[in-house]
Structure formats: C-alpha cells, structure tokens
Amino acid sequence: MRGTCRTMCLTRPENEPRNPVPADDSFFMMQKALQLLEESVKAAMRQRDGSPAVSGQPVLERFTAPLGEVDATRWLSAQRLFPRLFWMNREKSEWIAGIGEADRIEISETGPNDRSFLVLDEAMQRKNPHARYIGGFCFNNLQKQNDLWKAFSPGLFILPLVSVEYRDGQASMSCSMWLKPGDDRQKALEQLLLTLSEVSAGDAPEAPAIPEVTQVAYCPDKTRWIENCETILRNFDEGKLDKVILARQTELSFAGKVPAIRFLLDYPFPENTAYRFYFEPAEGHAFVSFTPERLYRRDGDMLETEALAGTVTKEALKADDSAASELLLNSEKDIREHRFVKDTIYRELQPVCSDIDMQEQVGVLQLNRLAHLLARCKARLLPEFSNDSTVLRQLHPTPAVGGVPREKAMSLILSIEPFCRGWYAAPVGWLSRDAAEFAVGIRSALVNDDKVYLYSGAGLVRGSNPESEWEEVDQKIGDIMAITQQTS
C-alpha cells in the first residue's frame, strides 16, 4: 500500500530563538529553523487524527522550515547523528545534507544486480511519492563483498531523519517521520522532538585535520597491473572483447583515525563539474565520490543520460582547456573508446524508450586535471518501462565502467581484479517514486578508521598502453590525494 503524506510548514517562531546571539547568519538561520521544526512537531502532537493504526497504511509526516543561504557541509560536519549523507548535482543547483534515519531500504542478499534493482523498485512503490531516499548499490552483486565494505550493503537507501536541502532555488530544513500501521504516533513524535533538541545548528568544533599518511600501497601493484593489461590486450587481439575498464585500489595508511567528513569539507576544486556524494552509515566508515559522470536523471517518463569516455590529463600534457579539447577530438583511440559507450547506450535504450535524441556532435567536459569526451542523450521511457529498475538494468554498468560486450567484460573484471570494487563505479544518488538521479561512483574513496582506499580505473581498448593507463589512474585520483596533502 502506498503511504500518505502529512506535511506541516511554519514560517515564523512562536517564541524567541533557543540560544542567544548567533555566531553568523548561517548559524542563526539554522537555529531559527530548528525552533520552527520543534514548534511544528509540538503542534502535531496536539493533533490526534491521522494515526496509521486508524488509516491502515503507512504515513509520512514531514515538517519543513525555510532557510536562506547556508553552509550545508559545515552543518553536516557538526552533527553526531548517523548516518550522515550528502548529495550535490553537477550543476550545483540541487543538494541535500541529511542525518539520521527515518526509513531505509536495504538489500542484503547476493545475486545479479538486476534483482537488486527490481527489489528497490518494488519497495519504492510502497513508499510515499514525496519521500526522497539517498544511497547506492555495489558494482557487481555477484562478487562477494569483503570486510572493507562491511558497513555498505549491496543496496542501501536512507530517508534522512533531519535534512537541509536546496531545490528549485529554495533552501529548507526538514524532519521526516515514517509511521507504519501499529506504530505509536505520539511516542514517535516525542522521540523526534528529542532528536531535534540534540541537532546542532552548526556550532560544534571543526572536524580535526586528516592525520599524516604513513604508507601508500597499490592493489594491484604496477607489475601486476601491466600483466593484467596485457592479458586484456590479448583478448582484444583474439576478437573476444572491444573494451574493458580496469580499476586500481590505492591504500593509504594514516597516523590516526581519519575524519571522513574532511574529504567533503576540503574538496579543493569546488568549481569542478562533478557530483559530490557522501555516505557515512556509521562513524568512521564512509564512501565519498567526486564523479563527473551522470548515469541518468529521470523525471516521470523523461530520461536524461550521457556517454562520457576518453580522457586527457591536462597536467601531464601541460595543456589548457582549448588544447585538451583539440587533443581529445583528434585522438583516434579516445574517439573509438567513446563511440563504444555512445553506441551501447543508444542500443540499450531502444527497447525501452521512444524519441531517443543522442547528441551527434561530441563535446568535451572540462575538469580541473582532466578532460573527457561527452555526448548527452534525452529519451522518453515507454509507459511500461517508466521505472528505475528498468533504467538501472539497461544502463548499469555503462561501457565507461564495465566494457564491451558487457557480460564478457564483467566476467573478466571479476576474474582479474584482485580486490572488491564495492560501491566503486556503481549507481549512487537519490530516488523517489516519480523521479531519480544517479551518478556513477567513480573518482571515489572508502574511509575505514585509519585507512582510506582510493578507486579509479582506465578504459582499455586495442592500442592502449599499460604504462599510460597507470598514469591516467594517478591523475584521476589526484583531487582526493590533494585532500590528504600528498599533492597540491
């Protein structure tokens, strides 16, 4: 059964702010919003109607207060309620910072990713259309997830208990309560009120700095990497494969526990055209991705996706944006690599979409250190396929993180890579019943107490050079390495 939604918004407080003079405007607005939310919850406690025990179906109660311009990452870093979550789109026009858990959708069993996507979609049909869940999947649920990823289920999506959001040009603070039939509404409201009283307005001490790196290790090491690349190149020569994405895990050891939130706070290139995804289900265990790659955006039956592949490293070549574009657009190897992605996406969408508009002229996406070939695509999902399980099944993994042909490439990756990809290169993002946006979780890090594991990959096609691909991976993790003060 689909849950109903009861929303309450207040625009001014009934009393003065809870605390005296604020430290700055952002802090003051957060204080005021928290007071408004408390007043909303108190007002709801005085209402005895709408109990899920009476209505017989789940109820989402959501309370919202307006905000002006605020620093959401600073607010998030001040919180001690977990999970801590953050999402920002590439255009920086939409973001959400969330803490706590009003509801969750968790997929714990192993099996094909297609099954996980279907389970998620079935669960979402029972949720309220206004509820927006944040989370992700593992790259390949046929691979046994190892202890490094123990805090991350094969699929996990969280409806935050308290969130600060920016959407449609407006910022707000909200708290959510998901009540199932039989739940005690008054007790749930009392608990929500208690939680709000413990939420910081952003005045907690700054998170400590990242400790010193004591050791760097690679899995695979460079010798094994070259051997793996040569194995893949032989498959190309034998006509078995056209493209494979080979990834590397870089393990950083630190002198003490790493405050994961610093990766979000200290991202050195805020103007980069990249998504920011942060998921910390338990303190000290977080997955963070600064990815340039959209998997898709869905609004109803309208779909936006893209082909992103082919790379030049501007620093290594001492190239500016113009020179990088020229190099990419005249590189036979990169054009061929990108065409595999573009053609595959078009082919995968044909059975489930109409009006597919794939950009003919390939453009270039400029980042701080890198540039990539890009072609955007818009399509309309057919009525029977207007759901996220269909889109996820058709698009993941794209040839930009898997390979061509898909199944053979996935099988080879599983057999040749000596580590577990976990959530790296998997769909990460948010979804509601009627809309969703997923990015591809590349350029990413897994934080586990005093260790951080960096993940990135390189696209191998016929003619690829293993040494160059190793250097490309170094460039792709450069932004995250800069946060650890290993590079500038």
pLDDT tens sequence across 129-158: 889 999 999 999 999 889 999 999 999 999
Quick one: average pLDDT of 357-377?
Answer: 93
Residue of 13 and 483 predicted with greater confidence: 483
The 10s digit of each residue's pLDDT in 435-453 is: 999 999 999 999 999 999 9
- Domain positions in the chain are 213-257+300-381+395-424+434-484
Q: What is the pLDDT of residue 15?
A: 38
The torsion angle over the Cα atoms of residues 385, 391, 394 and 400, rounded to 10 degrees, is 160
- Residue 19 pLDDT greater than 50, yes or no: no
353-360, Cβ contacts within 8 angstroms, sequence gap of 24 or more: 353/303, 353/379, 353/380, 353/381, 353/382, 353/385, 354/379, 354/380, 354/382, 355/379, 355/380, 358/307
| Residue 472 among known ligand-binding residues | yes
**pTM tops 0.75:** yes
AA identity, residue 81: L
Residue pLDDT, tens place only, 386-412 = 999 999 999 999 999 999 999 999 999
Q: Which of 38, 61, 165, 293 is catalytic?
A: 293
What is the DSSP pairing of strand 276-282 with strand 84-88?
antiparallel
pLDDT, position 143: 93
CB atoms inside a 10 Å sphere around CB 342:
23
Q: 213-257+300-381+395-424+434-484: what fold?
A: Anthranilate synthase (3.60.120)
- To the nearest 5 percent, what fractions of the chain are helix, strand and coil? 30, 30, 35
Is it the case that residue 50 has pLDDT exceeding 60?
A: no
* Annotation says 42 is catalytic: no
Q: Write out the E strands in 336-443.
A: 353-358, 363-366, 370-381, 403-404, 427-431, 435-440
* Position 479 pLDDT exceeds 50: yes
Q: How far lies 323's CA from each of 267, 318, 400, in Å?
A: 26, 9, 23
Q: What is the pLDDT of residues 30-45, one digit of tens each?
A: 999 999 999 999 999 9
> Mean pLDDT of all residues in the chain?
91
pLDDT one-digit tens code per residue, 283-327: 999 999 999 999 999 999 999 999 999 998 887 777 899 999 999
pLDDT-derived band of residue 51, with 50, 70 and 90 as boundaries?
low
- Catalytic (active site) residue 243: yes
Q: Does 227 belong to an annotated binding site? A: no
Q: Kindly name the residue from 127, 243, 314, 476 that is annotated as catalytic.
A: 243
